[in-house]
Structure 1
Amino acid sequence: MNKSRIWQLSTYLSLASVSLLLACSQATRPATPAAQNADWPSYGLNLQGQRFSPLAQINQQSIGQLTSAWTVDTGIKATFQATPIVVNGVMYVSLPFNHVLALDAATGKQLWKYTHDRKADWPMCCGPANRGVAVSEGKVFIGTVDARLIALDAASGKKLWDIDVAANQVNTEQQNTLNSSDPNKTRKVTGGTGVGIAMAPVVYKHKVIIGITGVGYGLHIDNPTSDAPLGAVIGVTGRYGRPGFLAAFDVNDGRQVWQFDTIPAKAWEGNFTTRTADGSVFDRDVAAEKNAVKDYPDAARFGGGSAWSTPAIDTGTDTLYFGTGNPSPQMNDVSRPGDNLYTVSLVALDTETGRYKWHYQQVPHDLWGYDLASPPVLFQYQHQGKAIAAVGQASKTGWFYIHDRSNGQFLAKSDAFVPQLNLFKKPGTEGTVIYPGILGGANWSPVSVDERQHKIFVAAMHSPIKYTVHETEAANGQKPMRYAASEPTEDARWGLLSAIDSQSGKIAWQHKTEQPLVGGVLSTAGGLLFCGEGNGRLTAYASDTGKALWHYQSDYGVNAPPITYQIAGEQYIAVVSGGNSLFGFKQGDRILTFKLAKK
């Protein structure tokens, strides 16, 4: 890649555009004058997913006066990842296990609570966390860990409709297929292929859009210690999983309008790609893969491709953009020759029909779990002297990718924002240490784009992973079974908060944290960048220099994206604090809000 490639973003987010979004939000109580109020109406603030707020009352000069406004303990101590949604002074928060709270956003007073009745014994692939709700047309929408889409009345919390989006499909990998000498055979399993919904929905033109997860996972072995990251993830050969999908449902009755399957019905083998447009090279035995196609004619039926993060939407062209997960079986490629389309890809669809427009596969025939987990973000980009409507995505591989929104053409990628070793190297029987690995890089954490400063802010991690191929003993005349495992090493791991210069693609500044960063960031017109850590620390940085200006210490991990809003002329910062069990961060149940102390 030519690292001198010029990156240029032109400013187009303004107070006027935010006001337009707010005007379209559904009122749930009388509002004070618009100039005094500013909501957080959607997962990424706006449909572009930029997470940049034009509010500036809290700024580099006033940040020292930031103090607690109110806190709420929800009573559900578990992994907490939600983005609070604020519409007309009401905050809607999804709790672990898909309960929902409605609070007065100025005081924290509870207005109502919805308690979710989860299906008994439904397997959760990745724990009870949910990343938020959508609020529109007088309704609150939530996708659940048991693969349902629910609509609540925004004023009362009463359930309006409840649909099953995955037809009760459950698949569970078998731990007993592991080698008898493998210590993971007897360890506690915390997850497998249990279809669910993790993403926050998005509503557009009377349709609520959501996708399913858990379709490409292997066995999840429990953390070796309480403060350690997830233990082994194991991909077992077998007919496990199913295709993922993204679908749109009518906001009034939940009727499905369209569905896009992340695995195509035909030709999921693709072109057997060994080099992608961004310059990544993959060591593949193409001849052997092509020969194996005849042995696995129905592999696509179990193809995987979870949809992890809320799509970004281009309202000018009615196009949505979302990322897909790994192929199934995870890391174990014996039964899935070919590129395994459309897994580990950025995909563009027509919002009205779900029609496929284009895709870009970052990692063909993925062996490492390099899902596109972080949500896409839309912005304007200067390329070879022309202004181009672009879509960007922070990857697990450690690069920020930029594409032409109209056709998916790869335009550029940033310098690596995390260390890289043995990237795309095939795992072997002796074990191969790779970073970034299955955890990332940039995991599900959403980025923020400040077009005024030409900066893209990314929360990421350095967490070395050892990949090993195993083979069971031959028994009872059966062939040995091959499986692959990824496990954290004993090497040091840490977090990296990066500001990427959008003109050059280089790292403008970078801040190293004690623990891996997962949760996301918020930038504001006050020149501030907010980011939480697993040790409970919420920090405000000067977004132009990276200097830490303020911090707050929570009792629990702060592993969710912060937001900001304004009520009656007072600006607030809010974030949920509940840790993350997959990373060993202390779990809790707290909603935190801050505002400037009155003089």
Structure 2
Amino acid sequence: MCSIDARRIATTAGLILASVFAGAQNVNWPYYGGDQGGMKFSALTQVTKQNVSQLKLAWEWKTDEKDLKEFATKPGVFEATPLVVDGTMYLVTPYNRVVALDPVTGKEKWSYDPEAYKDGQPPNGTGFVHRGIALRKDSATGTYTVYLNTRSTLLALNAATGKLIPTFGKDGKVNLLEGLRWQVDPKRYTNTSPPVVYKNLVIVGNGVGDRLMYKQDPPGDVRAYDAITGKQIWSFHTVPWTGEYGADTWKENSNEYTGHTNVWAPMTLDEKRGLLYMPVSTPSNDFYGARRKGMGLFADSLVCLDAATGKRKWHYQLVHHGLWDYDPPSPPSLITIKMAGKTINAVTQPTKQGYLYTFDRVTGKPVWPIVETPVEQSTIKGEESWPTQPIPTLPEPIAPQGVSLDDAFDLSPELHAEAIERLKTLKLGPLFTPPSYQGSMMRPGILGGANWGGAAFDPQTGMLYIKVNNMAAVAKLGIFDHTGPRAKEVDSDYVTEGRTNGLFHDGLPIVKGPYGLVTAINMNTGKKVWQVPFGDDAEMRANPALKGLKLPDKLGAVGTMGAIVTKTGLLFVGGGDAAFHALDVVDGKDLWTFGTKVRTGGTPMTYMIGGKQYIAIAVGSGDSASLMVFTL
């Protein structure tokens, strides 16, 4: 079949690369979020509300990754979102292998193994996971390069062959530990989110472990590299160096040694304006800040940079002096909304605490007022918690917040009474109740609210859809053992817990469900349109303490992945349970469910090849991990 010149098709979702063939159309999914702004919207119309029930499994590809005893490693959850361009699918596995597949059959074209497991198990709390790669098309040759940030290395692969490009860095690789403020152990440095490509730049953040506070934790600098040579072009210090803007927000020169404050979640890009949006995380460590007193810019902030130079355009701190692991976990969504007849090019940041902080994406001005609100102060020795926290007036919260006795587990009178007695032993209160020696209940917990999957936005309607969690956690501080094996490495008087399990009877949650939700927000008004229980938890349902009880149809399942929305009014999302769902965007009704046998892990995507639409999602972990692809 003869191809004709590819042409750009403009849609309300932005530009989607398309190639038109005689009698058939191909539509790509070229970026992690569908477009550079992370809307996760598809203009494809073949799969509709009327025929979605006819979706069938077209093919399945298994990662075939197992525990490696010689390196003491195990592959984690398969969380990748594949990319499809010009007839090839590209994805990354939990062990950070890059694989190219035929998107029609699933047949493997090539694979590249960076041997990331040789540095041992990552200390990031999630183990071996990776959510995506990035592609760059050479404007002169039309060829693609694959970029992968794996552990402490950025590498470039020929997209046609899977071979390293020797002219990039040193033999195709850049050492991301070079150029940091202090020496970093490669075992404490990792990456889980895809790079951002802007013109001739490849931009990367990093991921680190959160729980212990080492004497010098890895810095969270965001850096840009020349896409051809691998030379570093700019670096943005998320903890400002002395003399830089924001350094005076760190008391007692704590900016000189504080690490983390990294960008582990996906970043997004306004390519037209050359603006990069970065969700910057909490400094070390998550629940104790006596060693890093002050507001601490740019921690727990949404930061906008000039993508070409790395210069700060604007920022907004979403949590002051964070003590809750409430770092912004999601890609900032670049959206267009209409208010009072005015069009606003906006960015909205979903957060673990259950808010959508929404700004004019150019100026950084809040779309709706954000109010500095007094919050309870810490009683921990040496701690100086911040007196206020920024609370958006709109949009309405996307997840339940705070814990009182009224929120106790309630699936039977006996369990309800037991949960109340257990809650009475803990510190209860609204959002931003500080950690304590006693143990403070926090809801949302450390998984959110929102998490790395983020939101899906329909530019036709201004509606935003997001999978959120409703699982409480305990923030508890304990005395660190300075005689233990890590005493020489760790610089802290306290160790922390952010537990979500083991809080109650046989591992049951201590608060009532549902534990997973999908929330729909009209971003033109900031108002919640609907919220429905989402997913189920087979393990909880089988708990002996619940035997014989009449349980809700959906208990709700905790899951960190995201959704995609289509022009035909379908929301495709995994629930964190062993099922893949298509929901009606009007009311959240489940229109199609496919049992995946293992838990879903990734945010889905969709593409068209040969005039046929496909929907793909990663599921499972370890040797059960696979990519499932569906079509009519």
Superposition TM-score tier, normalisation by shorter sequence: 0.7 to 0.9
Distance 1:593 1:480 in 2: 48
Q: CA 1:268–1:58 in structure 2 vs 1: closer, same or farther (change >3 Å)? A: same
CA distance 1:437–1:75, shift in 2 (3 Å): same
Conserved in 2, the CA contact under 8 Å of 1:271 and 1:338?
A: no
Contact 2:148/2:194 (8 A) holds in 1: yes
In structure 1, distance between residues paired with 2:432 and 2:451: 17
Q: How does 1:320-331 map to 2 (within 5 A)?
A: 320-331=276-287
Q: Which runs of structure 2 are paired with 1:45-84 in the superposition (5 Å)?
A: 45-76=34-65, 78-84=76-82
1:498-520 CA distances to partner (integer Å, 9 max, x unpaired)?
11122322221112132112111
Does residue 502 of the first structure (1) align with residue 523 of the second (2)? yes
C-alpha separation in 2, matches of 1:589 and 1:564: 19
**Match of residue 499 from structure 2:** 487
Aligned to 1:356, which of 297, 312, 324? 312
Match of 1:92 among 90, 93, 100: 90
Do the aligned residues in 2 keep the contact of 1:15 with 1:54 (CA within 8 Å)? no
Aligned to 1:410: 366
Following superposition, the deviation at residue 357 of structure 1 comes to: 0.8
Please list, as runs of the form range in 1=range in 2, the aligned pairs for 1:398-437 lying within 5 A after superposition: 398-412=354-368, 413-421=394-402, 422-437=430-445
Is the 8 Å Cα contact of residues 195 and 204 (structure 2) preserved in structure 1?
A: yes
**CA contact under 8 A between 1:462 and 1:516: conserved in structure 2?**
yes
Matched, 1:165 2:176: yes
Q: 2:589 aligns with which of 547, 550, 555?
A: 547
Of 513, 516, 525, the match for 2:567:
525
| 8 Å contact kept, 2:62–2:627 | yes
Partner of 1:176: none
Partner of 2:148: 143
Q: Distance in 2 between matches of 1:66 and 1:312?
A: 31
- Establish whether residue 103 from structure 1 lines up as the match of residue 101 from structure 2: yes
Query: Is 1:32 aligned with 2:21?
Result: yes
CA contact (8 A) 1:263 1:343 kept: yes
2-structure distance, mates of 1:442, 1:19: 24
What are structure 1's unaligned runs of at least 5 residues? 1-12, 24-29, 173-191, 220-234, 274-289, 580-585
Mapped partners of 2:492, 2:195: distance in 1:
43
Identity of aligned residues (%): 32
2: CA distance between counterparts of 1:517 and 1:252?
Answer: 37
Letter in 1 for 2:302: L
Q: For structure 2, list consecutive stretches of 5 or more residues without a partner in the other structure.
A: 1-7, 67-75, 138-142, 166-171, 369-393, 403-429, 505-509, 535-555
Per-residue deviation, residues 210-247 of structure 1 (Å, max 9, x unmatched): 11121xx333xxxxxxxxxxxxxxx44x5231320222
Pairing 1:575-590 to 2, within 5 Å after superposition: 575-579=617-621, 588-590=624-626
1:251 corresponds to: 227
TM-score, structure 1 as length reference: 0.80
Task: After TM superposition, give the deviation of residue 196 of structure 1 in Å.
Answer: 1.1
Q: What root-mean-square deviation, in Å, do the aligned CA atoms of Structure 1 and Structure 2 show?
A: 2.8
1:283 corresponds in structure 2 to none
Asked whether the equivalents of residues 148 and 156 of structure 2 are also in contact (C-alpha less than 8 Å), the reply is no
Q: Residues 535 and 587 of structure 1: is their aligned pair in 2 closer, same or farther, counting only changes over 3 Å? A: farther
Query: For the Cα contact (< 8 Å) 1:523–1:530, is it kept in 2?
Result: yes
Change (3 A) 1:151 1:45: same
Cα deviation for residue 359 of structure 1 reads 0.7
User: Which position in structure 1 is the counterpart of 2:420?
Assistant: none
Deviations 1:508-546 (A, max 9, x none): 111213211211101001110011022220000111121
Cross-structure match for 2:376: none
CA contact (8 A) 1:100 1:114 kept: yes
Q: Does structure 1 retain, via aligned residues, the 8 Å contact 2:155–2:174?
A: yes
**Residue 579 of structure 2: which of 534, 537, 546 is its match?**
537
Quote how far apart the aligned CAs of 1:341 are.
0.9
Which residue number corresponds to residue 302 of structure 1? 258
Instruction: Say which of 445, 459, 476 aligns to 2:453.
Output: 445
Shift of 1:272: 9.8
Query: In structure 2, do the counterparts of structure 1 residues 272 and 153 end up closer, same or farther at CA, with 3 Å as the change threshold?
Result: closer
Decide whether the 8 Å contact of 2:189 with 2:218 is kept in 1.
no
Residue deviations 1:309-329 (CA, integer Å, cap 9, x gap): 232211232111110111112
| 1:72 CA drift (Å) | 1.0
Query: Counterpart of 1:194 in structure 2: which amino acid?
Result: R
Match of 1:22 among 17, 25, 29: 17
In the alignment, the residues of structure 1 paired with residue 432 and residue 446 of structure 2 have an alpha-carbon distance, to the nearest angstrom, of 12
Within 5 Å, which residues of 2 pair with 1:274-289?
none
The code of the aligned residue for 1:211 comes to G
| Structure 1 residue 49 displacement after superposition | 1.0
**Structure 1: how far apart are the matches of 2:12 and 2:442?**
43
**1:244-289 deviation digits (Å, cap 9, x = unpaired):** 022222222222221112111137995999xxxxxxxxxxxxxxxx
Normalised by the length of structure 2, the TM-score is: 0.76
Q: Give 3-state SS (helix, strand or coil) of 2:239's partner.
A: coil
The structure, 1 or 2, with the larger RCO (C-alpha pairs under 8 Å, 6+ apart) is 1
The one-letter code of the counterpart of 1:470 is: G
Pair 1:103–1:262, CA change in 2 (3 A): same
- Structure 1 107/447 Cα, relative in aligned 2: closer, same or farther at 3 Å? same
Q: Does the 8 Å contact 1:79/1:588 carry over to 2?
A: no
Contact preservation (8 Å) 1:269, 1:337: no
Assess, with a 3 A threshold, how the Cα gap between structure 1 residues 503 and 20 changes in structure 2: closer, same or farther.
closer
- Asked if residue 559 in structure 1 is aligned to residue 567 in structure 2, the reply is no
In 2, are the aligned partners of 1:497 and 1:517 still within 8 Å (CA)?
no
Q: CA deviation at 1:83?
A: 0.8
Counterpart of 1:114 in structure 2 is 112
* Aligned AA (1:571): Q
Aligned in 2, Cα 1:380/1:20: closer, same or farther, shift over 3 Å?
closer
Say if 1:171 and 1:162 are closer, same or farther in 2 by CA, change over 3 A.
Answer: closer
Contact residue 120 and residue 187 of structure 2 kept, 8 A: no
Distance (Å, rounded) in 2 between the aligned partners of 1:401 and 1:542? 26
Q: Distance in 2 between matches of 1:461 and 1:19?
A: 30
- For 1:130-170, what per-residue CA distance to the aligned partner results, in whole angstroms no more than 9, with x for missing partners? 11111222344343442211111111111111111123977
Q: Aligned equivalents of 1:358 and 1:504: distance in 2?
A: 24
- Shift, 1:441, TM fit: 0.7
Change beyond 3 A, Cα 1:314–1:210:
same
Shift in alpha-carbon separation, 1:251–1:268, aligned structure 2, 3 A: closer
Aligned equivalents of 1:503, 1:212: Cα separation in 2: 34
The amino acid of 1:240's aligned partner reads Q
| Contact kept in structure 2, 1:428 and 1:467, CA below 8 Å | yes
- Judging changes above 3 Å, is the alpha-carbon distance between structure 1 residues 140 and 97 closer, same or farther for their aligned structure 2 residues? farther
Measure the CA separation in 1 of the matches of 2:14 and 2:242: 45
2:613 maps to amino acid: Q
Quote the Cα distance in structure 2 between the aligned partners of 1:361 and 1:577: 34
Contact 2:531–2:588, Cα closer than 8 Å, also in 1: yes
Q: Contact 2:93/2:130 (CA < 8 Å) preserved in 1?
A: yes
| 2:99 partner letter | L
d(CA) in 2 for partners of 1:430, 1:507: 35
The one-letter amino acid of 2:175's match is D
Q: Does structure 2 retain, via aligned residues, the 8 Å contact 1:574–1:593?
A: yes
State the distance in 2 between where 1:252 and 1:480 align.
Answer: 43
Contact in 1 for aligned 2:192/2:207 (Cα 8 Å): yes
Residue 573 of structure 1 aligns with an amino acid whose one-letter code is I
Structure 2 contact 347–360 (Cα < 8 Å) conserved:
yes
In structure 2, C-alpha distance between the alignment counterparts of 1:335 and 1:419, rounded to whole Å: 31
Alpha-carbon distance in 2 for matches of 1:480, 1:90: 49
Q: How many equivalent residue pairs? A: 514
How do 1:255-404 residues align onto structure 2 when only pairs under 5 Å count?
255-266=231-242, 293-294=251-252, 297-383=253-339, 385-404=341-360
